[in-house]
A and B are shown apart, each in its own frame.
Chain A
Amino acid sequence: MSVDIKSLDQERIRRFSESRKEPQWMTELRIQAFEKAAQLPWPKVEKMRIQRWPLQVVQPSGGIQEEAFDAAVLAAYKQDMPWLDDAAPNLLVQENGTTRFVRMDEELKRQGVILSGLTEALQEHEALVREHFMNAADVEENRFTALHAGLWNGGLFVYVPRNVEVQLPLQYLSYFTGQGNGCYPHVLIVADENSSLTVVENSVSHAAASGVHIGVTEVHVKRGARVRYVSVHLLHEGVVDVSYRRAHVDQDGRMEWVLGEMNDGHTLAENDSLLRENGASSVSRLIAIGTGKQQSNYQSRNRHIGQHTTSEIFSRGVTRDASWLIMDGVTKIDKGARRADGRQEQKVMMLSEQSRGDANPILYIDENDVQAGHAAGIGQVNPEQLYYLMSRGISKKEAERLIIMGFLEPVVSRIPVEGIRQQLLTVIERKLQA
């Protein structure tokens, strides 16, 4: 195992926390989590031996941005990421966890909406952060979650007050640079009762970047609120990406995950929705492409506790080269969750002989009065579809491309920011080029 925890110790973590002027409780939370990490097991991932991935757990980078934000910063980032929507009214940009730019619509500010770096939010909205931080996610779930809680070094805080509907997406760009870095972004979203919002998170690395990226996203969907969380990950081969995404959904709340997993490096990603009160619902849509020798594992889970709760999982994977991609869906319906309805569908298209794709629908149902359905499929490009498109003069290569793009379309079309959608398409095209 290549985890290098020795270079870290309590004292360093304390100094890191203090340098960021964090409250005492956070410093203590970090130290305790870090101590636990050493005793906790790695997450249990079926079949895949993630312990063999290059997991250099290193000192988190970044401090607090002292200088004033100005638009010149954006121009520099736009050089690296031409798709960056630098005119977006609601935008937060971080590099290695340090906030470099933030802008929010004045009207939203007046309505009490908060869009801030998490580090900054800890100063200005401490009570809100304290109430929700590592609450939907569990510090002690496994070694990754504990390491993250100990080492988190940036991220996003969003709060939308009761009855406020935010129309335009709140955009968060997280940029990973440097070699051998550790980036541990934490996204914390609190949607108060009957509010609605869309957050679009785009995690990108510089082409030469390497290291580990262990992120946690927590979404608190209060009564009647609706949250759409869109995440597009475009991390390069040298970066191992681990994402734990957790939502707590209260009565009649609705959570929607839209996930474009387009990393080149090893990836472990989970999105869970806990439907803990009556009428709560969750929809998860995920696409991923495995290339090269990439190993990736995507888990989408819904747990039904409340009555009349509904959930849907829709995952699409494509494998090329010698990649290995696992896509699991887990629907758990607790005793008492009457009239719950859980559906899932996973499909993996394998484009090469050497690649491997697994799709596993898993249902645990402890209540009789429910509906549940699942479908899973693994296959190649459908030859009848190929024949049909070719019979109209479209070349085999172009026909395959159309079929694969169509296969991924249900997620691509749901990315609400034009630039990010186009960049996602560009990366998909690159990954599919032979």
Chain B
Amino acid sequence: MTPDTALSDRELMVSRLIEGPRDVVFEAFTEVQHLSRWWGPDGFTTTTRTFEFSEGGVWEFTMHGPDGTDYPNWIQWMEIRPPDVIVLRHGEGPDDPEQFSSTFIFEERTDGTRVTLRSEFKTKALRDRAAEEYGAIEGANQTLDSLATYLTGR
């Protein structure tokens, strides 16, 4: 998969240029001491119970929201190809029927590393729900949203 492959209606994608060399950016995904410093939105912290960064290995952790709400998280690494690709399964636990698959792609750029995340959900309905409620964070920017709606005529 490349970042440019067309998105299906079961996928969501985000992409961001990170201002650092690819090995440093990739490393930030491989250890709890790094992950706990950035994983999650503003104001969130994580408590890790299990962590083994290997194909088939698992990361079990709780995310603590700024309002005190706890979110159980369970991640299993499916594919690790340093420094290009990480594929993982993500859900609330190993038996969560709503688990989804996430692929992180790391590309070298002259001014940094482009990190692209593509997540694939089991159904379009699950994808749509994640787009609106994932992480249960309230947020809105009506100006941008209506601009986007206007531009695409949706």
Partners in one complex: no
